[in-house]
Structure 1
Amino acid sequence: MHELSITRSVVDAVCERAAGRPVLEVRVRVGILTSVVPDSMRFCFDLVTAGTPAEGALLEVDHTAGRGHCRACEQDFPMNDLVLLCPCGSFDVDVTAGQELQIVSMRVG
């Protein structure tokens, strides 16, 4: 379960930035193309925050949609998985959204 190591990294970064202050809420942005399961991340968050300044904090996960841009037909299109195929049939595609994994904000007490 890669969510455990990802969540641990998020909590480490948040606790470092909090500098000992209690963390009340953490908001992250997770792209659909990262294959991170939000419910698994929430479960891991409760485990990883135990004994840290973020213990008891709320984790909010904003899920972002996947988008691609075709260099052949110059069209933007939605992506639900990492099959890099434009509706026009071209494989000459750039992923433009959906691979984000960012700490957006945190609230400390």
Structure 2
Amino acid sequence: MHEMSLMESVIDIVCETARKNGASRVKSVRLDVGVLSHVDPEALLFCYEAVRHGTIADGAELEINRIAGEGWCLDCGKTVPLQERFGACPECGRHRVQMTAGDELKIRDMEVI
């Protein structure tokens, strides 16, 4: 389960950033997770419960925002929704679509005290 190592990295970044900014506790964390990122939000939540204990993020709420897949078709020049990686353009049917959203995993923001 790669979600465990991903969440360990998220907690490390959150705690380090909070400490660098003089915070003593993290109250909440918001993540953006793309639907095409191959990351399971339920597994992230499970791992979050395990890795936050004993850190300044212990007790912090986690919110996961799902980001839809989107791409730019090089053939028809349109921004189109993507349902799968390397999928065909729903407008022209060709496979020259540059993914522009939906594969991210990033910390959107966090609340600290």
Structure 1 and Structure 2 fold alike (TM over 0.5): yes
- Where in structure 2 are the equivalents of 1:1-109 lying within 5 Å? 1-19=1-19, 21-87=24-90, 88-109=92-113
**How many residues of Structure 1 are paired with residues of Structure 2 in the alignment?**
109
Query: What is the Cα-based RMSD across aligned positions, in Å?
Result: 1.2
With the length of structure 2 as denominator, give the TM-score of the two structures: 0.90
Supply the distance in 2 between the matched residues of 1:96 and 1:10 (Cα, whole angstroms). 22
Structure 1 residue 2, shift from structure 2 partner: 1.1
Counterpart residue identity of residue 51, structure 1: G
Higher mean C-alpha displacement, 76-85 vs 65-74: 76-85
> Gapped runs of 5+ residues in structure 2?
none
Moved over 6 A (4+): none
> Gapped runs of 5+ residues in structure 1?
none
Structure 1 residue 36, shift from structure 2 partner: 1.0
Higher mean C-alpha displacement, 4-13 vs 77-86: 77-86
Supply the distance in 2 between the matched residues of 1:16 and 1:59 (Cα, whole angstroms). 17
Structure 1 residue 29, shift from structure 2 partner: 0.6
